[in-house]
Copies of this chain bind each other. A is one copy, B any other.
Amino acid sequence: MSTLIQNGTVVTAESTFPADILVEGEKIKEVRPGIPVNSADRAIDAKGMLLMPGGVDAHTHLDMPFGGTTSSDDFETGTRAAAFGGTTTIVDFAIQARGTRMRDALDTWLKKAEGKACIDYGLHMIVTDLGLAGLEDMDDLVKEGVASFKLFMAYPNVLMVDDATIFRALSRTAKNGALICMHAENGSVIDVIVQKALAEGKTAPIYHGLTRPTTAEAEAVNRSIAMAEMAGVPVYIVHLSSEDALNKVREARDRGLPAFAETCPQYLLLSIEEMERPNFEGAKYVFTPPLREKKNLGKLWDGLKHDHLQVVSTDH
């Protein structure tokens, strides 16, 4: 089946120009003005519209079990919403359960998506346990199309892995070509701060923000990059939220290290005040890393402008 999109204005990284687009199956076959209408099975009139590549959201969590519940969207509602916003590819996260193999998680997540997703999707693998066969499993998954593995420095006893595990995973990518994604917050320190706040009865939403200092994020970013440097491989920091953390990425990149980072709209547009909204409304703004003080926002925008940050994803 072929489709002709007519009379639109094509926008690429290079230029903007009027052109028709002929699509055969899943591939663009031709981009030029004046493609005859009878070249395709059907035609769409894009007059007055811009034709752009679809967006890629590199960080989503569809149908994810967490803290006793499940994320609000599954692969059907989530990908439909994405499509409406112009996002045509997502990369979601399969989560290895401790004591099981990554392969199992991959199967589980492929099943979650099957028959539901209406756009393209890929999967990162969250590693919680390298066990005996973990490194070999990583190699196998790369061959099947899982190109990136995420490890947590936060959430002790749940998702957090120790530095030895992170370093082993990083080192393995020198061989299998995968990319390691890091949730970079010092969860050990944060946990002590959280326990103290709980003991003091500080349980309002705002304390979620106040118990996760930017220094804990910056420290973990620095540690991630140091470990990647010792392993001789790139590293990718997910959902970077603060100037302190950004400075660590920038310094590493200035030294020429292949360190990369993404931020998310919430960190670019909102600040910690949201968590103080009355009537428990602040709870709607609870996520991790938390919203930061306002002064961070401009710094993150600057980071995008100057290529100290490379990606904007949603963390869904």
Contact = CB atoms under 8 A, between A and B. Distances in A.
Interface string A154-178: 0010000011100110010000000
Interface string A100-122: 00000000000000000000000
Copies in the complex: 4
A132 interface: no
Contacts of A12: 14
Nearest to A250: B254
A215 interface: yes
A138 interface: no
A81 interface: no
Interface stretch (A54-62, A185-193, A269-277): A185-193
Nearest to A196: B171
A interface majority secondary structure: helix
Contacts of A238: none
A189 B213 contact: no
B213 A218 contact: no
Interface stretch (A1-9, A69-77, A90-98, A299-307): A299-307
A44 B296 CA distance: 56
B230 A213 contact: yes
A302 to B, nearest CB: 5
A82 B12 CA distance: 30
A99 to B, nearest CB: 21
A256 B219 contact: no
Nearest to A257: B306
Contact of A14 (B13, B171, B192, B215): B13
B254 A230 contact: no
A40 interface: no
A80 interface: no
Interface of A: 12-14, 30, 32, 156, 162-164, 167-168, 171, 186, 188-189, 191-193, 213, 215-216, 218-219, 222-223, 226-227, 229-230, 250, 253-254, 256, 302, 305-308
22 contacts: A12-B14, A13-B14, A14-B14, A30-B32, A32-B32, A156-B164, A162-B188, A163-B188, A164-B188, A164-B189, A171-B192, A186-B226, A189-B230, A215-B229, A215-B230, A216-B226, A216-B230, A222-B226, A223-B223, A253-B306, A254-B306, A256-B306
Given A163-B189, A223-B223, 13 more contacts: A30-B32, A156-B164, A162-B188, A164-B188, A164-B191, A167-B188, A168-B192, A213-B230, A215-B229, A219-B223, A250-B254, A254-B254, A254-B306
The 8 A-B residue pairs whose C-beta atoms are closest, nearest first, are A163-B188, A219-B226, A164-B188, A167-B189, A256-B302, A167-B192, A215-B230, A215-B226
